[in-house]
Amino acid sequence: MSKSPLNVLFLCTHNSARSILAEATLNHIGGGRFQGFSAGSSPRDNQQPNPIGLQTLRNAGISTDGLRSKSWDEFALPDAPHMDLIITVCDNAAGEVCPFWPGKPATAHWGYADPSAGEGSDVEKAEAFKQTLHAIRRRLDLLVNLPADKLDAMTIQQTAKDLSHA
């Protein structure tokens, strides 16, 4: 792997919960080797990150500075950061036709249940976000601790798909 970080884009439908959790977590644990980004295939007008998700991140000691919901179209523009790996984190986004990604990045699907979809008390909703954050963190811990040879352009595709079963 080169000295520049491996850019990873996490995609979900609205970019308000799972993809935001993944972006913030990767940036927290990436150690300069990784840079996380997130986007949605169809964020709602004036979409904002889920406040329970933001609180879950803060409770875990993960910065929420700069997090915002955005469309994946931002990352298909010519001046957008080059992505090395794109990971869908919800089943809806995984089944959608994606924009053209410059540089043909590796892709993988790491599905997680939507913690914002559940009914229940505030405590139950917070627990759903906490469990989703832990599941995302487990996979990302594996990713960031991989040796450099597992992250080169020729093997990242299979490595990311293998981690979907971790």
pLDDT tens string 64-93: 999 999 999 888 888 889 999 999 998 765
| pLDDT value, residue 137 | 97
Contact call for residues 25 and 18 (beta carbons, < 8 A) = no
**Helix or strand (DSSP H, E) at 28:** helix 18-29
What is the arrangement of strands in the sheet containing 6-12, beginning at the earlier edge strand?
34-40, 6-12, 85-88, 106-109
Total residue count of the chain as it appears in this document: 166
CB atoms within 10 A of CB 76: 15
pLDDT digits (tens, 9 = 90+) for 11-50: 998 899 999 999 999 999 999 999 999 999 888 888 899 9
Confidence of residue 1 (pLDDT cuts 50, 70, 90): very low
- Report yes or no on whether pTM surpasses 0.85: yes
Architecture of domain 6-158: 3-Layer(aba) Sandwich (3.40)
- Which of the pair, 139 or 152, is modelled with greater confidence? 139
Q: Which 8-state DSSP code applies to residue 26?
A: H
